[in-house]
Amino acid sequence: NAGVTQTPKFRVLKTGQSMTLLCAQDMNHEYMYWYRQDPGMGLRLIHYSVGEGTTAKGEVPDGYNVSRLKKQNFLLGLESAAPSQTSVYFCATRAGTPYEQYFGPGTRLTVT
């Protein structure tokens, strides 16, 4: 089993460009999350999903959109990238044990 995978691993964008980050899981977990990690700020929740076809905003949702058309995939979109979105993005899924989340390897995004 691959667990949680993320594509791409690295990306450089120019300001105003758009892109989609893909998170895929093979653990059949209902809950999926997108976080961003910035130096000195820990992990902050962008959006989350409690099941196929449902999404909701987290702590820092502005500038991002998400979709969960299939249970195993959770997509994070940036419609018009800004330098403030330079960060490392992590996807996570939640098992049956409450609150224990499994993380993907991360995507390092730089916006110039």
Partner 1 sequence: EDKVVQSPLSLVVHEGDTVTLNCSYEVTNFRSLLWYKQEKKAPTFLFMLTSSGIEKKSGRLSSILDKKELFSILNITATQTGDSAIYLCAVGEGAGGTSYGKLTFGQGTILTVHP
- Residues contacting partner 1: total by CB under 8 A: 24
Name the minimum Å distance from CB 70 to partner 1: 19
* Dihedral sign, Cα of residue 67, residue 102, residue 63, residue 75: negative
Closest distance of CB 112 from partner 1, Å = 24
Residue from the set 50, 57, 70, 112 that interacts with partner 1 by CB under 8 A: 50
Residue closer to partner 1, measured from CB, 110 or 112: 110
Q: Residues interacting with partner 1, by CB under 8 A?
A: 4, 31, 40-45, 48, 50, 56, 58, 90, 94, 97-106
